[in-house]
Chain A
Amino acid sequence: QSVLTQPPSASGTPGQRVTISCAGSSSNIGSNIVNWYQQLPGTAPKLLMHINNQRPSGVPDRFSGSKSGTSASLAISGLQSEDEADYYCAAWDDSLNGWVFGGGTKLTVL
Chain B
Amino acid sequence: EVQLVESGGGLVQPGGSLRLSCAASGFTFNNYWMHWLRQAPGKGLVWVSGINGDGSSTSYADSVKGRFTFSRDNAKDTLYLQMSSLRAEDTAVYYCARGPVFDSWGQGTLVTVSS
Contact = CB atoms under 8 A, between A and B. Distances in A.
Interface of A: 2, 33, 35, 37, 39, 44-47, 50-51, 56, 86, 88, 90, 96-104
A44 B37 CA distance: 11
Give the dominant DSSP class at A's interface: strand
Nearest to A103: B44
A97 B59 contact: yes
Interface in B79-113: 95, 101-108
Contacts of B46: 101
B95 A90 contact: no
Interface in B38-62: 44-47, 50, 59-62
B47 A99 contact: yes
A92 to B, nearest CB: 9
Contacts, number: 51
B47 A98 contact: yes
A44 B95 CA distance: 8
Contacts of A99: 35, 47, 50
Nearest to B35: A99
Given A44-B107, A44-B108, A50 B47 contact: no
> Lowest 3 A-B CB distances belong to which pairs?
A99-B47, A44-B105, A104-B44
9 contacts: A33-B101, A44-B107, A46-B105, A47-B104, A88-B45, A96-B62, A97-B59, A100-B47, A101-B47
A81 B61 CA distance: 36
Given A44-B107, A44-B108, A96-B62, A35 B44 contact: no
A47 B59 contact: no
A94 B62 CA distance: 14
